[in-house]
Amino acid sequence: MRKARTIRTDNYILSLSDYIERIEFLDISGTKSNFLFRGQSVKGNLLPSIARNNPKLDTTELEKSQLTHLRLVGSRYLEENNSNDVDLLVLAQHFGLKTRLLDWSSNPLVALWFACNTTDDGDAYVYALDSDAFLDKEIYSKDPFSIGKTSVLQPRLNNERIIAQHGWFTLHRYAQKNSRFVALEKNKDIKKFITEFTISSKSKQDILVSLDRYGINSRTLFPDLEGLCKYLNWRDKFA
């Protein structure tokens, strides 16, 4: 088994090239680990949306009820492969329902874009997760509300955004022992496999321009009319 990592705090990023250089050093063991990446405007708090306001609240019954209601009222929008609870959670997450899924990407540049594409003035953050030890290949045959531990989920490539964003998820559990959802950076089994990168607040816009040169922007990550319109609004600021 690979040696566990600790969260590093010395990864301060000033440019796209700086970021790429440091990402390249993640897997220095040469084992070709499967790293996942998440970009966000806040430090830590790696919790799914259903748990961010109150991690101590057990939302399990609420979430089950929401999926039942979604099947009843939204049946015309659902396909047969959404009958599985895991697939339905992924679909619901995609359309904005608060779930116990947390978004990740296998593409580090996608995560960097999400970190920098914010109106906040402060620093941004990218988290890299060495995910191999936490990937559950049997997750589609399980009840997502009764899993024994927080796991990595590779979604089926059945919608355009997941494909464009190289989307993956962590599926979080409500820990009865702790009476709460535990943030990944505080999870004793997972935190050792997380690396933190801090993106300088002064560099975010320059990084977005650099990413655009390599085809990472709202038009490509959200391959629909909404994504294109957001891209045109952003591009015109630099015209």
Q: Which residue has the higher pLDDT, 11 or 168?
A: 168
Q: Among residues of the chain, what percentage have pLDDT more than 90? A: 81
Residue 213 pLDDT exceeds 90: yes
The rounded distance, in Å, linking the Cα atoms of 178 and 23 is 34
Task: Note the pLDDT tens digit of each residue in 116-173.
Answer: 999 889 999 999 999 999 999 999 999 999 999 999 999 998 889 999 999 999 999 9
What one-letter code names the amino acid at 232?
L
Phi first, then psi: what are they for 88, rounded to 5°? -70, -35
- Is 18 exposed, middle or buried (CB count within 10 Å of its CB: 0-12, 13-18, 19+)? middle
Instruction: Report how far apart, in Å, the C-alpha atoms of 155 and of each of 3, 13, 15, 38, 94 are.
Output: 27, 30, 31, 16, 11
Instruction: Report how far apart, in Å, the C-alpha atoms of 60 and of each of 65, 77, 141 are.
Output: 9, 24, 18
- Contact 175/54 with Cβ under 8 angstroms? no
**30: region left, alpha or beta (phi > 0 left; psi from -120 to 50 alpha):** left
The rounded distance, in Å, linking the Cα atoms of 189 and 73 is 39
Task: Note the pLDDT tens digit of each residue in 29-55.
Answer: 556 789 999 999 999 999 999 999 999
The rounded distance, in Å, linking the Cα atoms of 142 and 32 is 28
Compute CA 173 distance to the chain's CA centroid, rounded to the nearest angstrom.
16
Residue 203 pLDDT exceeds 80: yes
